[in-house]
Amino acid sequence: MSDTIDEKNQEWGFGNTKSATFILTEDCQLVCKYCYLVGKNKKGKMSFDIARRTIDLIMKDRFLYDSDSIIFDFIGGEPFLEIDLIDQICDYFKLKAYTENHPWFNGYRFSFTTNGLNYHTQKVQDFIRKNKSHLSIIITIDGTKEKHDMNRIFPNEQGSYDLVLKNIPLWISQFPEANTKVTVSSDDLPYLKDSILHLWNLGIKKVNSNVVFEDSWKEGDDQLYKEQLIMLADEIILNNLHTNHNCSFFTKGIGTPKPENQNWCGAGGMIAVDHTGNFYPCIRFAPFSLQNKEARSIGNCFDGLNHNRIRPFLTLDLISQSNPECLNCEVARGCAWCQGANYDFADSETIYQRSTYVCKMHKARVEANNYFWEKLDSNKTKS
């Protein structure tokens, strides 16, 4: 079981890496109920010219991209809908990095989060074989069939679980250490404990999870969340599952006061580029991600990065965007926020107003987390 607060994948790059996100398409086969991409459509597709210009620019701009390694994060919509473009982009980068003797040639990774529906197709498998040693692929499966099909549905409201499940054995055989990401929403809380156990039984040893940041929580959800996590904790300890399984719900170090004065996410230290060539601090600032605000661009692939627009993001930290209640909270450490959601839900155009819709859910998780580690330590002492 993980004993660190960082729930992001830092197994590669050792913290000395930056990322660039390519929003390849705004289309997806699914219409997941909790998806923050509220403007999905079939028209927003990236051209190779936009991708090429972006790569050329960030390989030159060492103000923002001064790291020795790079993660190219391919996202949608569903990225594998554009596998031909992906292959073309990756080949272009590899050749350019080699011919220019760029430091990234010895330090790059292509990262994907996919719904898994196209994973088995010939073109996707050919791409995987071609780039295997430089790939990170997450297939999103939400847990049991009941939980998954409650939210991850096709436009006709049919669930996608059975089709995704068919590709899980192939994925695990190719990436045995791969992890999945589970999103928790109000309606699927009763399936949470069984879903984590189910994913482990499928052979997925690492499960990262987060609750939705939107204002969608109902009275009593925090109590149900805590109950589910405590039942999960009991199952884990009873069956010694903590020895070879990982779940980000239970993380040492969270739930204490006075966390470090830093920003939770990397917005401003990376870019996301869409099909128009516009750059954003992350995908949550792109037009099809926002419900209430206008998109917030920090440049484009034609004119370059606008460093004056980037600088406000580089000043973001805990203090600059948190209210006194958050700053004085006795269990503040580990309470997450999304920078784009903060901006979208703020009552002005500011990026310095922290959204607190997950407050009660975080406190419930802390109580369950404390229960888990105290019981685990007690059992170790007894043995």
Q: So what's the pLDDT on residue 63?
A: 65
Q: How many CB atoms lie within 10 A of CB 125?
A: 14
CA distance 76 to 91: 20
Q: So what's the pLDDT on residue 1?
A: 62
> Given a cut of 60, is residue 31 above it in pLDDT?
yes
Mean residue pLDDT of the chain comes to: 93
Measured in residues, the chain has a length of: 383
> Given a cut of 70, is residue 219 above it in pLDDT?
yes
> Given a cut of 50, is residue 23 above it in pLDDT?
yes
Q: Interior CA angle at 126 toward 202 and 81, to 5°?
A: 75
Per DSSP, 159 falls in state B
Q: How many CB atoms lie within 10 A of CB 381?
A: 7
The pLDDT of 14-21, averaged and rounded, is 77
Q: Which CATH class is domain 11-139+268-315?
A: alpha beta
> Given a cut of 70, is residue 77 above it in pLDDT?
yes
> Given a cut of 50, is residue 10 above it in pLDDT?
no
> Given a cut of 60, is residue 2 above it in pLDDT?
no
Q: So what's the pLDDT on residue 306?
A: 93
Burial grade of 368 (CB within 10 A; 0-12, 13-18, 19 or more): buried
**Residues with Cβ within 8 Å of residue 180, at least 6 apart in sequence:** 138, 139, 140, 141, 199, 204, 206, 207, 208
> Given a cut of 80, is residue 64 above it in pLDDT?
no
The pLDDT of 105-133, averaged and rounded, is 97
Q: How many CB atoms lie within 10 A of CB 116?
A: 25
CB 334 within 8 A of CB 362: yes
> Given a cut of 60, is residue 245 above it in pLDDT?
yes
Burial grade of 201 (CB within 10 A; 0-12, 13-18, 19 or more): exposed
Using a pLDDT cut of 90, give the percent of the chain over it: 87
Q: How confident is the model at residue 152 (pLDDT cuts 50, 70, 90)?
A: very high
305 strand-pairing partners = 299
The tokens for 128 are: 């995987």
Element (H, E) at 363: helix 359-382
Sign of CA dihedral 29, 31, 36, 42: positive
pLDDT tens-digit readout, 161-206: 999 999 999 999 999 998 999 999 999 999 999 999 999 999 999 9
Domain with CATH 3.20.20.70 in the chain: 11-139+268-315
Q: How confident is the model at residue 381 (pLDDT cuts 50, 70, 90)?
A: confident
CA distance 19 to 268: 11
> Given a cut of 50, is residue 6 above it in pLDDT?
no
Q: Report helix, strand or coil for 279.
A: strand
Provide φ and ψ at 97, rounded to 5°.
Answer: -65, -35
Pairing of strands 70-75, 108-114: parallel
> Given a cut of 60, is residue 312 above it in pLDDT?
yes
25 strand-pairing partners = 45
Q: So what's the pLDDT on residue 186?
A: 97
The pLDDT of 253-263, averaged and rounded, is 91
Q: How confident is the model at residue 7 (pLDDT cuts 50, 70, 90)?
A: very low
Q: Which residue has the tokens 């272009």?
A: 92
